[in-house]
Structures are given as structure tokens and as C-alpha cells.
Chain A
Amino acid sequence: MNFVIAKKPANWKTKNAYIMISPGMLLLFVFLVVPCIYALYISFTEFKSGAFVFVGLNNFKILLKNKIFWVSLLNTFYYTIGVIIPSIVISLFIAMGLNRKGGYAATLRTIYFLPVAISEAIAAVIWQSVLNPDVGIANYILQLLHFPKIGWYADFNWAMPTLIMVSLWKNVGYYMIIFLAGLQTIPQEYYEAASIDGANWWQSFRNITIPLLRPSLFFVYITSIIFSFRIFTWIYVMTQGGPGYSTMVTVYYIYREGFQRSHFGLASAISTILLLILLVLIIFQMRQFRLFKTEEEFR
């Protein structure tokens, strides 16, 4: 079974197809492409006394020497790596465990999916309260069990792991659903045949599940990279980029420079750089997953 991206729709009427997608494309153009182009222009300006003044590459030069910018990039990668790998592993294994009919599987699937249904802002407020170092229930329980209190999001060392933990709680259910859908497309006969041939669980997983789940894996991988790079609400509610700069990520730094300090040009320059980094990452990953190959090349 080959999973390829068709390079050209062979038997569609191309003109009709373009007409059909044009309303959506128009919306995308007006509300996405045009603002992006305008943001790119703003990245070459500085906001002074109510007007945008052209300053060329000055904002990018400032960023090269800006310590907080580099810290924010490092923190973004720290968070991304900390979230992606556990996201994929945990959600895949939960999906595999719940890929069955009857019993408690349906109830458990719902329970795992519930955090996805809560808005991120509300979830952040709830966790901020639960993990409050002084009056939160988490530390209350730890102290009842004779463990020391943890600073959670108010501790320099624990702040980023805390954010990773709450992000995993929020997102695992969503990725679980994606993997469940992928697992249900794998014919059971493959596993039965492998079992007859003497394959153990790990061999079946490695040689059947993983290859046939590749599109789902790719989707989860790419979306979790994008979501991780975009992290904002957790930081805004729980840490404000602190303590110190331990959770200062790039998107929050864009917000801070743009909205709090009116450095709109600098903020746009940072977002331009972030976009370029994301594009490079995604294109690289797409090549790794060999999704650019046509069916002929794949054979």
C-alpha cells in the first residue's frame, strides 16, 4: 500500500476546481497573505511618535545582538522538543490501548479527549490555581504525603517543565484521536498474518504499525511543531515569560515587544524570523517523510 501525494489531479476539470476554491482562497488572501506582507513591511520600520518610519535592516541588526531574543529561541526549542516526543509517544500508546470496541474504551477515550474541549485560557487559569506554590492544591497534596513543596511555574528550574506538563495534558487527547483514526485503517489481517509468521509485539509494531501510520505520524509531528512554536496562552496566564526569562518564548517576546513596549517593527522582525525558521523545519521534515515523492518515484 503506497501513501503518496498525487502531483497533478489527473481527471478533474482544473478551471472548475479553481472556481470552487476561490472563495476560500480570497478569504485566505485578504486575512492571511495581505497581513503577512504588511507585517513584513513593518519589520523594516520603527514606530515613532505615531508613525512607521523606514529603518531598513536595523531591527534585524538589533535582534542579532539581543540576548533575550536568543534566549527566547532556545526556550522555544526546549519547549518544542519537550512536548513533541512525549506527545507522540504517549498519545500513540494510549490510542493503541484504546483501539478496541466495548468495555471502558469509549469512556476512556472521552476522558482523554475532555481537556481538548476546554479552551486554553480557561485551562491555564485552572492550572495556575492548582499549581499555585503557596495556596494550590497540588502542593497541599504533596505536603500531606510529606513531600516538599514544588515551585512549579514560580520556580526557575520547574517553570518550563510545568508548562510542558500542562501542554501534554491538554493536547494528548487530540493526537490520540488522530492516531486512533490511523490505526483503524490498518487491516487486522496484517497483524494476524504476522502473528502466524511468529512476529512478536515489537516486530508487529515496528514493521506494520509504524509504516502504515506514517501519514498520521507526519500530521501529528508537524502540527505539534507548529502548535509548540506558537505557544502563548500558557505563558501569558501562568508565567509572563518568567521567572527571569526561563519561559520567555519567541511568540511571547513578540507580544511583549509589540503590545507592551510599542516596538512594532522589532516585533514584526521577530515574527518574520520565526516564520522562516518554521518554514525551513517543515520543509525539511516533509522531505524526511518523503511526502514530495510521486507514486512512480515511490515505486
Chain B
Amino acid sequence: MRGIIKIAVLVVIISMVMFIVVACAPKAPEATTTEEATTTEEAAVTTEEKPAEVVTLRLMMFPDNPPDEEMYKKMIDEYMAANPNIKIQMENVPWNTFQEKLKPQVIAGNPPDIARISSQWGTEYAEMGELADLSEFIDTGFVDQFQEGRWVTCLYQDKPFGVPETSIAIAMWYNKNLVDKAGVTLPKSVDDAWTWEEFYEAAKTVQSKGGAEYGFAIYKSFFPYLAWIYSGDGALLKDDLKTPAINDPNSVDAIKFLTDMHVSGVAPVSVAASGDADAAQKIFQAGKVGFYMSGVWLLATFNDAIKDFEFAATYLPHKEGEDPATNASGENLIVFEKSKYKKEAFEFIKWFTNKENSDKHLGAASLLSPRVDTNPAYEVRPDVLKVFAEQAAVLKIHWALETHVPAFPKLIAPLMDNMTLALTGKLNAQSAADNIADEVNTVMSE
């Protein structure tokens, strides 16, 4: 009996060792296809010499909204049907955990072939040498299809590592019922946008006469916080993209004005203090907020969720004497250096972002396009998307560049910490800005 037990235990040990060795072994190199790609209108990849082996591409993405996710699946199926030798495995990861899933894979040497990322994440991976240089695949004239402010976010040391896929912009959502009840007249164009003071008065009026619990709320994220700072001609970094500009007078003024709106009760301090990034969205959806500063990606969500009141969008206010501003970036599709199928990956991206497919995808997903020839047939609220598109057009290149520096992901936490302390009145605007500036200097010297 003892002998049988010993043998059984030995078998278990050997099985477990084999399991561990197989699980931890590096991936065996896959057979590569030998091919010369011929590009057709549909960008089908063909081989000349013998039937193409199946190429499997791993695509990791986060959806902006449910229609976006559905379009992704539909278009991937369409591409695979047109290219039978290409298999695309889509991995859908929520945005707020995307980096936590992607970064360990990259560091462990097992990244996907393609990833859809927020534009501010790309250069960190490029600096690590993890992204493929796509120069060899890009034809003359390809770059001219995209808006400059979006294309620059796909470059590292002037070499392209990705292709812009969407554009997103910050503007001002509003509760039409409350605004109309308050009798507030909205600006008709981005050039006609309110000054900060005019907006403050409008928000207070909506609160007092429109019945809103809060006149204004802002999405708790660096994205709209920086948009507000830009609206005062402030910035996070100076033109050298290394020295802090966040504690310059214009930036501090912007933080101070935003703080005053919170501390005076026009905007909810609870949102600024909350760890729930969607706190402001929830109270807007509950019909308690007049104006909500957030992004275009919410359109499809609001369209489904908001039934008790009418919502629309208007233009962001700006400091008197300064230009209208926004924060605009978007998602890029990138190819990893460790991918064995960079060419196939790029061919898919090129197909996915061509005018026809881009318009189809973004029209259904209610997202803005990074293309210069964009004309999506928006299925939902084209009036709202028109406002966001006009707002996105005021983007200055510096704003796109400063959130694109490789160190930017390391600056988000201290920026958010100090903005929370400022907006809740725990720290004055100058001290908060100085703290952020200190962190900028520390991170830039790493």
C-alpha cells in the first residue's frame, strides 16, 4: 500500500513539474509566411508561392461604448472573411484596467500584436523600445490623411509607431430642461463661447432658477482638468516639454477659478473628492447638474441611459482675452516590436482606418475621426457631434504634445492628487501647482 502511495505521489510531482515547465516555457517561434503583399481596394493579403499559412493576430482593445465594441467585432469578421489566412483574436479589456493588463504583458515579453491605446500611453512603450517602427510600411501620402494634432501622437523620435484611429474632445454637456427653465442663452459657435465669468453666472442661474442641485460638474480626470487649464492659456509643460508650466500664473489662475466654482457650491466638492471617476456622470444622468464638462465618448451612453430629460452639448468657456481651448486626443492603433507579423498587423490597421471603414465605424460608435477627409454618417445626435468636432478643431499642437511625452503617465497621479486637494479647498491653487511642478521636475530627471 505504501509503495502504491509513493508511486502515486511521484507521478503527481512529475506531472506538476512538467506542467510548470510547459507553462513557463517561452513561446515556440511560429512559422512565418513568405509573401509579397499586393494591395487591393480591400487590402487583402495574399501569398504568391504557396497557400498562405494562417496568421493569427492578437488585438487588445478597450471599447469606448457598446456600439464601438460591436463595430469592432463586425469589422474584424469582415476583414477575416476577405482575408482567410488572417485570424484576429480580439481581447476586450475595460479602459480603466487596460494599462494594468497591457504593461505587465509588455514587460514580460508577451505583448499583443496590435493594441488600441489612449494616445498618451504610446510614447512610454516606444521609449522602452517595445513598439515597431512602421516607416517601412507607410506609403507616401499616407500621413496626409490624418490631422496633424493626431498624427504627432503616433510619433517617437519622428518615427511612426501607430496610426490614429479616433479623436476625442472635451466640451460641455448640458441638461436642456434645466437650462431652458433658467432662461439661459447658449453660445452659437466656438468663437462665441462664454468667458469663465459668463459661464459661472450661467451655471449659478441654472442652479438657482433652473432647479439644478449643481450648476456645473467636471469629469474627474486629468483630461478635462487640463482642458480647463488650457482655456486660460495655461499648460502642464513649457514649450521644451520638460520644464513645468503648471505653476505659471495662467495655469494657477485656471486652477483657482475652478476651485472657486467648487468651494462656492456651484460645482460638487463630493465629486472632486470621490474615488469614483464616474461620480459627476452619475449626478448628471440623475438630472441634478446643469452643465457637465466631459468627453464625446459619452454620447452613446447618454443616449441609452438618459430618458428623463433632454441633453445636448455646447462650447467650453475660456478666460477673457484668451482663445477657446479644449483637450483633444484619441485612440491610436499601435504595433508591437515583438510581433512576428508587423506587416500583416499594419495592413489590418491601414484597412481599419481607411476613409470608408473609419466613417462607417465612427458613425456607428458616435466618435470623432482623426482624418482630414472625415465624413461619418452619424446615426446618433449629429448635432452634438458637430459641437464636439468644432471644439476639437481649436486644439493647439502643444497640448497634444505635452500629454504625449513618455513621462506623462507618471505625472497623472500627482496631478490628480493635487487637483483634488485644490478643488476641495484643502490646498490653495499655487501650492497645488507647485507640488505638481516639483513632481514634474523629479520625473523628468529620472
Contact = CB atoms under 8 A, between A and B. Distances in A.
Interface stretch (A17-25, A103-111, A215-223): A17-25
A26 B426 contact: no
Interface string A230-274: 000001011111111101000000001001111100000000000
B124 A262 contact: yes
A279 B137 CA distance: 55
B16 interface: yes
A87 B103 CA distance: 37
B213 A134 contact: yes
A102 interface: no
B17 interface: yes
A16 to B, nearest CB: 7
B410 A262 contact: yes
Interface in B1-35: 2, 5-6, 9-10, 12-13, 16-17, 20
Contacts of B270: 133-134, 151, 154-155
Interface in B67-85: none
B413 A261 contact: yes
A66 to B, nearest CB: 11
A49 B413 contact: no
Contacts of B5: 16, 20
Interface in A100-148: 128, 132-135
Given A134-B282, A245-B417, A260 B409 contact: yes
Interface in A44-69: 46-50
B238 to A, nearest CB: 22
Interface in B253-291: 268, 270-276, 279, 282-283, 286, 288
B413 A256 contact: yes
Contacts of B412: 260
A261 B410 CA distance: 4
Given A245-B417, A259-B103, A132 B282 contact: yes
B279 A242 contact: no
Contacts of B417: 242, 244-245
A262 B99 CA distance: 11
Nearest to B426: A244
Interface centre among A48, A154, A156 (most CB of B within 10 A): A154
Given A134-B288, A242-B420, 13 more contacts: A27-B16, A47-B107, A50-B107, A132-B276, A133-B270, A134-B282, A135-B282, A135-B286, A135-B288, A240-B275, A247-B275, A260-B412, A262-B409
18 contacts: A16-B6, A20-B9, A22-B13, A26-B13, A26-B16, A26-B17, A26-B20, A49-B127, A128-B276, A134-B286, A134-B288, A154-B273, A239-B275, A242-B273, A243-B272, A259-B103, A260-B412, A261-B409
Which 10 pairs across A and B sit closest by C-beta, in order of nearness?
A50-B128, A239-B275, A243-B273, A240-B275, A154-B274, A133-B270, A154-B273, A154-B270, A261-B410, A134-B283
Interface of B: 2, 5-6, 9-10, 12-13, 16-17, 20, 99-100, 103, 107, 124, 127-130, 213, 268, 270-276, 279, 282-283, 286, 288, 409-410, 412-413, 417, 420-421, 424, 426, 446
